[in-house]
Structure 1
């Protein structure tokens, strides 16, 4: 009797599983990329409703954007020498925050333990900022990038409150 109950339960779970599955991405969302150009990142960000202004400094091109009321930058790394320059890693970096009280290493470590998706760092002037690296090694999709950007945006908002809680 017990064996029959287990069998019925197992079959019920298998029959119900498709209802819980997400739809597989199609088209461009299903394309696997081994790297992106900075212009592709810009286009994806704009497609998600964010401003993404292409800028240039002595290190090369990067994007200036914002989310949750905070400015951030997207910097490419590990780029090919040939044009178009396809890059295998990128870094989201926030502008520095102005905390309501001095931020200590213990406070930043508290953030880093609680929120592993983006690292809190203190610069040379004692100002906190947030950073997140992402790699395309092994292949990623546009859907993956959108999810990564959504998590980053969420972390920016949380970090702003963490370092400068509303009074």
Structure 2
């Protein structure tokens, strides 16, 4: 029951932000439509969901503790809080042309995961939210610059190949 409720919550969050709610193989066209701006907004919303929604926050904390007690809880922990989100971000980055997608997805999700922990222990939770948003905005800017540079270099190489110089 708890797992189904989490799946429903995740799906609703994705739908509310016009993000793919399934795997890439099931909806590649949806992945192709996502911009970095869309992704950043969704990520901020997911941070609030996982930290401020009573059910999602309790579920996250429960999985963090229970992952060491049973294989089932370890799998759920991976699905919702580690490999699942990291793979989702990697797939989105690949479709956005952000490279290296796997490494940047790990870096991005490390920020999310770190701030979940900071939020849980903070007295001033609003300050942690601000820090998270600032960090996410800076990370997104760096990705955008990298994406533009990659596009520029690709165009230069293609131009160079066409002219034979």
Fold in common (TM above 0.5): no
- Larger relative contact order, structure 1 or 2 (CA cutoff 8 Å, min sep 6): 1
When normalised by structure 1's length, the TM-score is 0.31
Which structure features the higher share of strand residues?
A: 1
Higher-Rg structure is: 1
When normalised by structure 2's length, the TM-score is 0.32
Which structure features the higher share of helix residues?
A: 2
